[in-house]
Amino acid sequence: MDRRFELVVPASAAHRRLEDHLLDEFTTVSKMYLRDLVRSKRCEVNGRNENIGYRLRANDLIEIWIDETRGTAMVAEPLPLDILFEDTDLLVVDKPAGMLVHPSHREKRGTLLNGLAHHLNQNGGQHIRPGLIHRLDKETSGLIVIAKNAVAHRSLCRSFLKRHVQKRYSALVDGVVKADDDTITAPIGRFADLKHWSVKEDGKHAETKVLVIERSMDTTLLELEPVTGRTNQLRIHCQSIGHPIVGDTRRGGRAAARLYLHAASLAFPHPTTRELMTFVSNQTFRRSPDADRDGDGDGFTGVIR
C-alpha cells in the first residue's frame, strides 16, 4: 500500500536534481522504482509534476507516494571482489567469468552489484548506490567501471556516449585468422521473432577493429577493439567472419569450459579531474603446458591470476 511522504528541501540541496535527492532520501528502494514514481506522476514538487532532472530550490515541498514493499534495492552481500582502483567517484573491478553484473528476475544474489552494495556501505554512514556505466555479459570476464555518485555517473556516461573511452578485449576464436589486422563493419539488429541479435541489413552501424596476437593449429588469439557498442557486437562480428569465439556455442563456437572473451584493458577520462585513467586486467589467457588440459582442444587454460 502506498504511503505518502513530505520532504522540505534544505538549502544544502538547492540546485540538486530531483532524482539524486530522492535516491539519498529513500535508500531502501531501487532507482528504477523511484524513476517510475516520478514518471507516473506519483511525485509532486510544490504541487506540480516535474521530471527527474528538475533542479530543486531551497524550501521546495516534495510529496511522493511510495509502496515500501516494492522496488526493494539490491541485497548487499560480502562477495570476493578484485578492485583495481577506487576513489570518491568511482571504482574499477576485474570481474570473473560466470558472475552476473546486476540482479535479474532469475538471479537476485551473487552478482557484482550485490557485492559492491556491501563493499560500499559496510562502514555505515551515507548510503552509496553502485552506478552501472556499461555492462559485461555473465560469461565475459574483465574490467568494468562503476560510479559512486550521481555526478560521476553522468560524466562517465557522457564519456562512453561520446566515445572518449577505449576498450580492448582478448578473444580466442575458432580457426586460423589470416589477416594480421582488419576492421569488421557489419550492421547489427534484433530479429524479433527469434529474440536474437545478429548481422542485419537494416540494423545499426557496428564496427570492430581486429588484431591477431597469436595463431595456433586451429585457433587464433585476437585483440578486439569495439569502435561502436552494439549488443553482443564482438560475438556477432567474430561469427560473421567465420571465426566464432570459443565457448560461444550459440553462434557456432566449439564447446569449452567458458566463453573465451575477456575485457583486458580500459581507458577513460576521470569524471572530476579529466585525467586519462588506464587499467589493464590482472587476468589473461595463457597456453597450457598440457595443451588439452581443460578438455576443449584449444591449448589454452583460459583466464588465470
- Which is catalytic among the residues 137, 181, 202, 298? 137
Taking each helix axis from N to C end, the angle separating 18-25 and 31-39, rounded to the nearest 10 degrees, works out to: 130
pLDDT at 294 > cutoff 70: no
Residue 53: Cβ within 10 Å count: 11
Q: Which 3 state secondary structure label does DSSP give 242?
A: coil
Which helix (H) or strand (E) segment holds residue 21: the answer is helix 18-25
Cα distance between residue 299 and residue 193, in whole Å: 38
pTM for the whole structure: 0.80
pLDDT-wise least confident of 22-26, 34-38, 116-120, 170-174: 22-26
Distances (CA, A) of 141 to 5, 33, 89, 265, 284: 42, 29, 23, 11, 10
pLDDT at 254 > cutoff 70: yes
pLDDT at 297 > cutoff 60: no
Residues 121-128: contacts with CB within 8 Å, 24+ apart? 121/76, 122/76, 122/78, 126/24, 127/24, 127/27
Whether the Cβ atoms of residue 257 and residue 135 lie closer than 8 Å to each other: no
For 161, list phi and psi in degrees, rounded to 5: -65, -40
pLDDT at 291: 47
pLDDT-wise least confident of 23-27, 99-103, 213-217: 23-27
Is 60 in the active site? no
Cα distance between residue 153 and residue 159, in whole Å: 10
Task: Look at the block and give the residue holding cell 530479429.
Answer: 191
Query: At 46, which amino acid appears?
Result: N
pLDDT at 295: 53
Cα distance between residue 123 and residue 76, in whole Å: 13
Average pLDDT on 24-32 reads 77
Give me Rg for the CA atoms of the chain.
22
C-alpha cell of 298? 584449444
Question: Which bin fits 175, alpha (ψ -120 to 50), beta or left (φ > 0)?
Answer: left
Cα distance between residue 227 and residue 83, in whole Å: 26
For 300, list phi and psi in degrees, rounded to 5: -115, 145
pLDDT, one tens digit per residue, over 156-166 is 989 998 999 99
Cα distance between residue 40 and residue 51, in whole Å: 10
Cα distance between residue 156 and residue 61, in whole Å: 31
Contacts of 243 (CB under 8 A, 6+ apart): 173, 174, 175, 177, 220
Cα distance between residue 208 and residue 185, in whole Å: 7
Average pLDDT on 12-20 reads 87
pLDDT at 298: 58
Could you give all domains of the chain from N- to C-terminal order, each with its CATH number? 3-66 (3.10.290.10), 83-161 (3.30.2350.10), 166-304 (3.30.2350.10)
pLDDT, one tens digit per residue, over 178-210 is 999 999 999 999 887 777 889 999 999 999 999
- Residue 105: which pLDDT band, with cuts at 50, 70 and 90? low
Whether the Cβ atoms of residue 283 and residue 94 lie closer than 8 Å to each other: yes
Top mean-pLDDT range of 44-48, 150-154, 260-264:
260-264
